[in-house]
């Protein structure tokens, strides 16, 4: 198999992983009204109080494609705002923010969004950029941080996929705030379905949240690792765009 064909095969498998996960998160309906549970409304720290302008859709497009290193080897997956991930999309519901992060989404509606798939350093990664209102950007990070204190495993009732081994992992020291975790997703309801390790970095730059998800689709249990160079270059581009 030549390099081009191999790359296309990797891309196709990665798209399959993302499609299964997205199907589980989307279409669950809007959040129900009423008071949020303590897990859904964590105490907001000083670092969660965000100020600054919201990037436009055009500015996000420019940022995600800024520079030849980011632009090269990318494939457009979809632009436009991500769907809100409802609280009951994950079981238990306290893992909802973790499921949302896997989709570059959350329980809050972004104003603009851009998604790209990148092949870098032998890894296939998805880059999600979401521009939020200032008050929502901080809340997204607070809710994910709270969820990661207790979420170790969950399932997606809609399609039977399940996550296990969720744990926080080393951060890369990027942006204004950063959270990182990894785990293993089972791609269907059967124990015999493929299991794919995934690594996730969520970085806030001003009112924009950049999410990087990297899968190990080799069929081994080796943990996935997000390309540090990609995260750094993308965050640097966002910092430049935010002024």
| Domain span at 84 | 3-28+50-242
User: With contact defined as beta carbons under 8 Å apart, do 157 and 143 qualify?
Assistant: no
Alpha helices (H) in 28-121, listed in sequence order: 57-64, 68-71, 96-102
Contact 186, 162 (CB under 8 A): yes
Q: For the chain, what's the residue count?
A: 243
**How far is the C-alpha of 204 from the C-alpha of 178, rounded, in Å?**
6
Determine, yes or no, domain membership for 23. yes
* Residue 39 included in any domain: no
- Residue 34 belongs to some domain of the structure: no
On whether residue 42 sits in a domain, the answer given is: no
pLDDT at 58: 87
Residue 146 resides in a domain: yes
Helix or strand (DSSP H, E) at 11: helix 3-25
For residue 23, the Cα-to-chain-centroid distance in whole angstroms is 14
Q: Pull the structure tokens for residue 207.
A: 């009112």
- Total number of domains constituting the chain: 1
DSSP string over 23-39: HHHSSS-PPPSSPPPTT
Q: For the full predicted model, state whether its pTM sits above 0.85.
A: no
Has residue 36 been placed in a domain? Answer: no
Does 140 reside within a domain? yes
* Residue 112 phi, psi (nearest 5): -145, 155
- Looking at residue 15, which CATH number applies to its domain? 3.40.1000.70
124 within a domain of the structure (yes/no): yes
Please give the pLDDT value at position 239.
93
Q: How far is CA 175 from CA 15, 88, 202, 209, in A?
A: 27, 30, 10, 9
Q: Give the pLDDT means over successive 10-residue stretches in the chain (243 positions).
A: 45 51 43 39 66 88 63 49 84 96 94 86 85 94 96 95 96 95 93 92 96 87 88 93 85
């Amino acid at each position: 198999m030549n390099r081009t064909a191999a790359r296309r095969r990797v891309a196709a498998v990665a798209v399959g992983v993302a499609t299964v996960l997205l199907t589980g998160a989307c279409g669950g309906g809007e959040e129900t009204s009423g008071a949020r549970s303590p897990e859904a409304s964590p105490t907001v720290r000083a670092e969660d109080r965000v100020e600054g302008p919201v990037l436009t859709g055009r500015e996000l497009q420019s940022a995600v494609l800024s520079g030849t290193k980011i632009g090269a080897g990318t494939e457009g997956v979809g632009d436009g705002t991500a769907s809100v991930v409802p609280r009951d999309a994950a079981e238990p519901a306290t893992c909802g923010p973790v499921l949302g992060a896997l989709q570059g989404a959350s329980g809050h509606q972004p104003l603009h969004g851009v998604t790209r798939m990148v092949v870098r350093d032998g890894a296939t990664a998805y880059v999600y950029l979401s521009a939020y209102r200032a008050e929502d950007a901080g809340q997204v990070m607070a809710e994910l941080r709270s969820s990661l204190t207790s979420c170790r495993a969950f399932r997606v009732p809609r399609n039977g996929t399940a996550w296990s081994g969720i744990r926080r992992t080393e951060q890369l020291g990027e942006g204004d705030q950063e959270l990182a975790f990894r785990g293993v997703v089972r791609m269907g309801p059967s124990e015999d379905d493929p299991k794919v390790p995934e690594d996730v970095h969520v970085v806030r730059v001003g009112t924009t949240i950049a999410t990087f998800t990297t899968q190990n689709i080799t069929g081994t249990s080796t943990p996935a690792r997000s390309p540090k160079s990609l995260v750094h270059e993308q965050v640097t581009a966002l910092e430049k765009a935010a002024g």
